[in-house]
Amino acid sequence: MKKYTFNEITYYQFVFLIMGTQIGAGFLALPRVLAERAGTDGWMGVVIGWLLSVAASIFLVKTAEKYPNKTVTDILTHLFGRVPGKLATFIYMLYNIWFTWIILINAMLYIKGWFLPNTPDYLIMFLFSIPTFLIVRNGLRIIGRYSELVFYLTIWVPVLFLVLLKDGSFLHLFPLFKVEWSKMAASGLPAIYSFLGFELAFFFYPFLQKKEHAVRGIVIANTLTMLFYLVVTLACFIFISPDEITGYNQPVLNLLKVIEFRFFERVDMIILNILLLIASTTWIPYFYCGVYCSSQLMNKADHHSHVPIFLGLFIAGTLIIHPTWEEFETWQHWMANAGIVFAYLFPAFLWMYSWGYEKYKRRKAL
C-alpha cells in the first residue's frame, strides 16, 4: 500500500523543500513591486501574503491528510475518476514543467545579463541542466537532502542584509499605515506570488516520514520564507529612499552593490551566483514534480528516462525561442495567475469537495 516508503523525506527536509521552493529569484524584485503598490508600507503586504498562504497551506495539508499515502495525482484519480484524474495530472504536469521553465529562464537571463553576455543562452541552459539532471534523477529523497544542504549553505545571506541596516534610516518606514487599506491589500497580491511553491506539498506529503507534523512543518516553512522576505524588504526600504526605490528594477541587487570589503569588491556578483543555488532549490522540486506527473501519465514507476527528455526540450526551447526579459515578464504573469488557482483556490476547493465526497460515500455505504 505504501508505495513511497523507499523515498522518504524527514520533517526538516520537508520544511526546507517547501521553503526552498518558495524562495526563488523573485525576491530580487519584490521590494520594488511592493513599493509600487503601497509605498514603504509595502512590507505589510508580505505579512498579508503570509497569512493567506498559511491558510491555503493548512487546507492543502488537511486535504492530503485524508489520503496519507497518495500524491495529488492519486487523490484526483480517486475523487474524480480515471479520465478526469489523468487530465488533471496532465494539467499539473504542464503547470510544473512550465514553472520550471520560467525559473530556469529567469536564472538564465540574470546570469546572461550579469556575467556571460556573450555566451549563447542555450549553453547556459545546458550548464544548469547538469546538476539538475544529477539531482532530479535520484528522486525526492536526494532533492530533500539538496534543499536541506542549500539551506545551511545560504543561511548567512539574510545576515548580510541585517549588516546593512546600520547605515539606513528607519524614518523611511514611518508613519505606518499611510496608505489606504485597499492599497495595502493590493500589495498582498505580489507577495502571494512570492509564496508560491507550497502547493508542491501535495506531492511531498506521501513521502514525509512523520505525517503528524506536516501542518507545523508547512507553517514553519511559510514563516521562514516570510521572515526572509521581510528582512529583505525592510532592508531595502530602510536603506533606499522611498522615492528612489521604484526606480530600480531589482533593488536588492542595488543594495548589495553597496557592500564592499578591503579584499573583495562587488559582493553582488557573488550573491548573484549564490542566487543560482537558491533558485535551483526552486526549479529542482518543480521539475521533479513535473517529471513525476509525466511518469504517472505514462504509468511508469520511475521517472529516470523523462528527466533528460525534458531537459533536452528546455535547451531546445531556449535555442529556438531565445527568451528575453519581456517574454519572461509575460510568462510570469500567466504563471502567477495559474499559481493563484493551483496554490490558493484549488486546495480549498479540493478540501471541500473531498469532505463532501467522503460524506456522500459514507452515506451511500450506510
Q: Which chain residues interact with another protein by CB under 8 A?
A: 10, 12-13, 111, 115-116, 119, 124, 127-128, 130-131, 134-135, 137-138, 142, 144-146, 148-150, 152, 262-266, 269-270, 273-274, 276-277, 280
Residue number, 307 or 350, with CB nearest to another protein: 307
Query: Cβ closer to another protein: 128 or 344?
Result: 128
Q: In angstroms, what is the minimal distance from the CB of 231 to another protein? A: 23
Minimum separation from the CB atom of position 264 to another protein (A): 7
Closest approach of another protein to the CB of residue 276, in Å: 5
Nearer Cβ to another protein, position 135 or 236? 135
User: How far apart are CB 44 and another protein at their closest, in Å?
Assistant: 34
**Is-cis flag, bond preceding 68, omega within 30?**
no
- In the block, cell 545546458 appears at 126
Of 317, 296, 343, which is closest to residue 125 (Cα–Cα)?
317
Q: Reduced to 3 states, what is the DSSP secondary structure of residue 22?
A: helix
- Separation CA 234–CA 35 (nearest Å): 11
CA 349 and chain centroid, separation? 21
Please state the closest distance from residue 142 (CB atom) to another protein, in A: 5
CB closer to another protein out of 41 and 148: 148
| Least distance from another protein to the Cβ atom of residue 13, Å | 7
Closer CB to another protein, 116 or 165, in the complex:
116
Q: No. of H helices and E strands in the chain?
A: 17, 0
Taking the least distance from each CB to another protein, the nearer of 183 and 257 is 257
Which residue number, 54 or 278, has a Cβ lying nearer to another protein?
Answer: 278
φ and ψ of 9, to 5 deg:
-120, 150
Q: Could you tell me the smallest distance in angstroms from the CB atom of residue 66 to another protein? A: 28
Write down the least CB distance from residue 286 to another protein, Å: 16
- Our CB check for another protein shows the closer of 260 and 327 to be 260
Cell of 37: 503598490
Closest CA relative to residue 212, chosen from 4, 14, 3: 14
| Per-residue exposure over 147-165, b if at least 16 CB sit within 10 Å of its own CB, e if not | bbebbeebeebbebbeebe
Amino acid type, 322: H
Tell me the three state secondary structure of residue 208: strand
228-234-240-242 Cα dihedral, nearest 10 degrees: 130
Q: At what angle do helices 11-22 and 214-239 cross, to 10 degrees?
A: 40
